Structures are given as C-alpha cells and as structure tokens.
Amino acid sequence: MSVIERTTEPLPRSIHLPALRGFSIAFVFIFGLVLFGLIDRVRANPRLFWSFMGAVAVLLAWSAVLFPAAWRRGRRLTLEFVPRPQHYLQACLQAAIFAYWGWYWRQVYDSYYLVIAQLIFAYAFDLLLSWSRRDTYTLGFLPFPIVFSTNLFLWFKPDWFYFQFMMLAFGFAAKELIRWNKQGRNTHVFNPSSFSLMVFSLALILTGTTDLTWGKEIAITQFYPPRMYLFIFLMGLPAQYLFGVTTMTMSAVVTTYLFGLAYYGATGVYFFFDSYIPISVFFGMHLLFTDPSTAPRTELGRMIFGALYGLGNVAVYQALQSAGAPEFYDKLLPVPILNVMIQLIDRAARSKLLRWFDPSGFGRSLVGRRRNLAYIIVWTIVFAMMSVVQGVGDKHPGQFVPFWQRACREDRPYACSYLAVLHANFCRQGSGWACNELGILQAKRESDRIAAVAWIERGCDLGFPPACGNIKRLITGSGTAETASPTLQDYPIILRGSKAPITDRTPSALYALACSEGWPDTCEQTTR
C-alpha cells in the first residue's frame, strides 16, 4: 500500500523577542486594519466602518491581556519565518483565479480592499492565538490560502462584514484547537477554511439569511469567464504535481460526472440542471477539499476520499433542494465530515478487501513527483475526453431554453418547473417573449391565473405584440394563447445561458448563436 510522501519542510529562521517587541509586531497588523477602516469607501458605510473598528477593539483588548502577562512572566517570544510551498503556491493560483473571474464580475475587483483587510486581520488573529498558547509563532503564507479560499466561496455583504472577520477567526481557532494524532503527528483535523465555511453555511441555511452574503452571486458568476473549466483545470496542475492530490480531484470529478450520466439516462434531464458538474462544485474539487494535510495518506484512500466528496455534493444538493434551501452550499458542507473520516478511509484502503483496487500496485518504479506526473497525464486525458463530450465546458445543453422546452413537452421530471424559472429570470431581465411564455406555461399548468396574467401584461409592456393579444384571451378564457418566436431584442437575454452578458448583438451573431443552441427557424436567418 503506497503512502503519499511528505513534502520537505523549509528550515525555519527564528527571531527571539521580549514581550513588548512582540506587541509592536502585533500592533503593526492592528494599525494596518485601522488604516483600512479609514478609507473613504469604508467610512461611507457606517456598519462596515464599525465592523472594522470592532475587529480592531477585539485585537487590542486581546493584546492588552496577552503581552503584559507575558512581560510579567518573563516570556521570550519567538517569531519563526517558514515559507511553506503549499501555502504560497496555492495563494498565487487563487490570486490568478480572482483576477480572471473579476474581469467578468466587477464586484470582485470592487472588493479587493476588503480581501486585503481580511489578510491583515488573519495575520493579527493568528499571531495572537499562537502566542497565547505557546512561545512560538510561525510567520509564513498560511493566511493567504485560508482567506482566499474562504472568499472564493462565501463573503458577506458590507453591511454584515463583521461576520467575515468572525468566519476567519473561527477557521483559525479550529485549526489551532481541534487537533488529533495522525500517524504520529499532532495536526489539525479540519481544513481551516472549509470548517468555518460549513459552520456559517449551516447557520445561514437554518436562519434563512443567505441574502446577507454574495454566496448565490458567487456561484453564478464564477461561470461567466469563458472556458472557466479549462482555466480551473490548469490552475490545479501545479499543486497536483507538487503535493500528489490529483487522485482526489480526478475521482471527485469522474464520480460526479458518472452519476450525472446515469441520472440523465434514467430521467432525460440533468441532475444539476445546467451542467453535469456546476462550476462552483468544480472549484471545490480543485481548491477546497484538496488540502494534503487533512486528506488521507494512501493513494487508494485519496481516491475514495474524492469519490465520497463527489457523492457528498450530490446528496447535499438533493437535500437542500428538497428543503427549499439554496443549493450552492452543496460543495461546502461535506468537507469537514470527510476530514474526520480520513484515518478510517486509510484503514479501509489498507484492508485485504480493497487491496485489489490499490493503484499503487501499478508502476511501482514511479515514485514521488514522477508518480504525481503520471497521474496528471491520466487526469489530462480524462479531462480532455470529458470536454469533447461536453461533460465540462461552456456549451452544456442544459444551459439553453430549447432543451428544457422539449423536456417539458415530454413531461420529464422537474423540466417544466425549471423552464418556468428560466422564463421568470429572463422576464425580469427584460425579455417580453419570456414573460409571454411564462404566462402561457402557468396557464396551461393551471397555476395562479392572476400571476399568469401579470407575467403576460409585463410582456406586453416590454413590447412583445403577442402578449398584448393574450391578455384578453387569458382573462376571458376565449381562444388559445398565442406564442411566437423571440425577437432580436429578446435574444441577447435568452441566449446567454449561464454565461456573462452577450456583447456582440449584431443580428448575424445573434442568429448564429441561436442556431447553435437549437432554436427553431434561426439557422436559415444566418445566411440572410
């Protein structure tokens, strides 16, 4: 049974400090947080301003207790500088993702100063927590991947930003306080960012307060950039090569994809509606649960770990959907549960029952990073094949209205309900055609007739002529409601699928896009 090799730790460089000098270092971070609290955009929002000042007050009060006590006891504090590759590499890759994503969703760029402020808070909190429990603080790049990973999945809106500081504090506290002995090493049980994300996600779900966050918008807009699956795939390769986490990601992706194929074969629709693997879940499979410190040590164990994460996403998504809760929490909730199971998974992987499935029996001459590279080659082939068949990519049929129109006519499970959701979203964005279609759909399904009329009236107000004629038909019940093809004004709204807004709005480009998505009577328009 192969065990993943440990990466070599860089030699620490240490500085010994009296208590008062230690306080000066902590004060630098706290004062930096004060400066961020005084910038114009923070001061313009009183609740955001007091979120910063509240964090500063907590850190100062903590310092006022810690450092005088350390001085009275004559403690010599130590500052170790240990730049671990897994921390700074992951930080660089996450920063690249923020840069690419932010180009298509400007809220990311507009919030950059809040991310930097969180980094300063994280360093201050981690330093105070470490020196409260021992004499040594390890200064490195650890806060970067924790802060970035947290912000890739959930961030609170400015009015509620103090919860963001609390979420980071909770993650660092869990890393420091919740520990176990793992194969002779005292180490943290949970991935710090995923543990705090799970706790706060559960709180938001139970209190019905998801609207305090940008969580839903994050899950949607991460698919805006073109070829985002490919970009995330490429961003994951360096960490996979250095730290041997390819088997985790690959097994998670393949398991979820195979489930999606089976579900489609059984129902004729897609489990996640617009994709086999939602982009936010794909993010999680590369950037959230792949911390090597909180993963199994064996190769087979890591494959089982990944497969369980994929199935966990499916189970949690179904549970959230059934409960009427936002489904985007699906990738956040399974990770801490799996972290607790890693030693059990490794024991199972070493058992006689699973010995025949052990991949370490193949290519025994490949060890270390050569073995990591071999797995990357296999994963690259798998990803390329999935891309060719639209298992991942920008053109999944579930994004587009024609697929759901056909599925609704065939009475596929959830198809008409999801089609109504699509029409409602497009109607709110200004498509008169979608408003008319939604009203007709609701009338046919004998839903609330008043609501159906209201949607059709909105379609008329937006300038879609058939909707105006349908108002009287629907009210009086005389005649069949009239439908028609979308107009050129509708196409920029209804053709975008799950991607960013359409920029090329020339008739030829719109008709070509409509033709590629399967809209009837549009292909011949491209030649006119």
The pLDDT of residue 526 is 66
Q: What does the DSSP 8-state code read for residue 277? A: S
What Cα–Cα distance (Å) separates residue 192 from each residue in 9, 98, 158, 176, 309?
20, 20, 23, 9, 17
253 neighbors 277 (Cβ within 8 angstroms): yes
Tell me the pLDDT tens digit for each residue of 448-500: 678 888 999 999 999 999 999 888 887 777 767 788 899 999 999 999 988 98
CB 165 within 8 A of CB 30: no
* Whole-Å CA distances, 474 to 43, 424, 453, 456, 467: 53, 18, 7, 9, 10
Name which residue leads in pLDDT, 356 or 308: 308
End-to-end CA distance of the chain: 65
- 6 pLDDT exceeds 70? no
**What gap in Å lies between CA 261 and CA 314, rounded to an integer?**
13
Q: Is the pLDDT of residue 11 over 60?
A: yes
Q: Is the dihedral of CA 288, 200, 204, 323 positive or negative?
A: positive
Nearest to 26 by CA among 77, 75, 73: 77
Mean pLDDT of 174-187: 87
The mean pLDDT value for 384-406 works out to: 94
Q: What is the dihedral of CA 235, 241, 246, 249, to 10 degrees?
A: -20
CB 55, CB 48: distance < 8 Å: no
| Residue that has been written with the tokens 């996450």 in this structure | 94
Residues paired with residue 37 on neighbouring β-strands, in sequence order: none
- Quote the CA–CA distance of 109 and 115 in Å, as a whole number: 10
Mean pLDDT of 66-95: 92
How large a percentage of the chain has pLDDT more than 70? 96
- Is 353 exposed, middle or buried, given 0-12, 13-18 or 19+ CB atoms closer than 10 A? exposed
pLDDT for 418-443, tens place per residue? 999 999 999 999 999 999 999 998 88
- The answer, yes or no, to whether residue 1 has pLDDT greater than 50, is no
Average pLDDT over residues 517-522: 88
Mean pLDDT of 283-298: 92
Distance (Å, whole) CA 501 – CA 452 = 27
The whole-angstrom separation of Cα 466 and Cα 42 is 49
Sequential DSSP letters for 414-444: THHHHHHHHHHHHHHTT-HHHHHHHHHHHHH
pLDDT tens digits, one per residue of 242-262: 999 999 999 999 999 999 999
Phi and psi (nearest 5°) for 138?
Answer: -90, 110
Closest Cα partner for 320 from 334, 335, 330?
330
Give the model's pLDDT for residue 492: 94
The 3-state secondary structure of 454-468, one letter per residue: HHHHHHHHCCCHHHH
Look at strands 136-139 and 77-81 and give their pairing: parallel
d(CA 468, CA 458): 9
Mean pLDDT of the chain: 92
Neighbours of 173 (CB within 10 A): 16
Of the candidate ranges 289-293, 339-343, 374-378, 419-423, the one whose mean pLDDT is the lowest: 289-293
Q: Which residues contact 421 (CB under 8 A, 6 or more apart)?
A: none
Residue 391 has pLDDT above 80, yes or no: yes
By residue count, the chain amounts to: 528
> Which tens digit of pLDDT belongs to each residue from 14-68?
899 899 899 999 999 999 999 999 999 999 999 999 999 999 999 999 999 999 9
Average pLDDT over residues 134-159: 95
Residue owning tokens 């955009």: 41
C-beta separation of 417 from 269 below 8 A: no
| Contact yes or no for 229/276 (Cβ under 8 A) | no
pLDDT at 362 over 80: no
Question: Which position has the higher pLDDT, 520 or 99?
Answer: 99
Q: Which residues contact 123 (CB under 8 A, 6 or more apart)?
A: 29, 143
